[in-house]
Amino acid sequence: MSKCYINNNIRKLRFQADELTQQELADKTGVTRQTIVAIENGKYSPTLELAFRIARVFNTPLDEVFSFSENPK
């Protein structure tokens, strides 16, 4: 598995956004549900464009959705 140093709060933000489902988030950002699952589980680091689209769905700044750490979780 590739080392993923990007952590995210997508699961928490989905819960706060009226329990938005992974499929709904995927539809709003134009990717498949599997990609959202992979991002949430730290198995895939999204492109900058997708990261911004995800942040826009939650209407929050990018750094509240994603954070960078020196060591993988």
Partner 1 sequence: MDNKEKQVLVSLISTVLIFGFYSLYVYNHYIAGNPAILNDFKFWGKAFLFLIPVTIVAEIIIHIVFAIINKIVTNEDMDTRSDERDKLIELKTIRISHWIFIMGFLLSMISQVIGMPPYAMFLTMIASGFISSTTSEIAKIHYYRKGV
Q: Which residues bind to partner 1, rule: CB under 8 A?
A: 1-2, 4, 30-35, 37-38, 41-44, 46-47, 50
Q: Which residues contact 70 (CB under 8 A, 6 or more apart)?
A: 5
Measured from the CB atom, is 17 or 44 closer to partner 1?
44
From the CB of 11, what's the least distance to partner 1, in Å?
17
Asked if 66 and 8 touch (Cβ cutoff 8 Å), the reply is yes
- Residue 35 CB, shortest distance to partner 1, in Å, is 5
